[in-house]
Amino acid sequence: MRRFGPLAMILCVCGTLQAQTPGPAAPGGQSPDERAAKVLADARAALGGDAALSAVKSFTTTGRTRRIQGDNLVPIEFEMLVELPDKYLRKDEVPAQESDPTTTGFNGDALVQIPH
């Protein structure tokens, strides 16, 4: 299950690409929608196909990012927990600050927010 975290992020980015409004056709003749559909199909195939993806019920991923705070880039460590179809939780922790982690997400229609 560990290999699904980074690839799930790729699928999220690809889904965002597919949701964008169509623009002019590329030099190869493919529209942005056609290119996005191909990228999504390739990503699904790399993960084992639609049957393997439909068997996934939950996944967790961790990573690092940075946020601009004043004139500084502050490092942030995050963890995302997803339980399909309707549960999402993201926990952000700022190691450079002595504060509790911030947790946001949703459980069905209910908002989950635990500020630091």
34 and 46 housed in the same domain: yes
Q: Which domain holds residue 69?
A: 58-114
Indicate whether 37 and 63 sit together in one domain.
no
Place of tokens 């690809």: 14
Do 41 and 74 share a domain, yes or no?
Answer: no
Start-to-end CA distance of the chain, whole Å, equals 30
Say whether 79 sits in a helix, a strand or coil. Answer: strand
What distance separates the 2 farthest-apart alpha carbons in the chain? 53
Q: Of 2-11, 23-32, 70-79, give the range with the top mean pLDDT.
A: 70-79
Do 45 and 77 belong to one domain? Answer: no
Neighbouring CB atoms inside 10 A of 92's CB total 16
Same domain, 110 and 62: yes
pLDDT digits (tens, 9 = 90+) for 62-110: 999 998 988 989 999 999 999 999 999 999 998 878 888 899 999 999 9
pLDDT at 1: 46
Model pTM above 0.85 = no
Which one has a higher pLDDT value, 10 or 20?
10
- In whole angstroms, what is the distance from residue 12 CA to residue 51 CA? 18
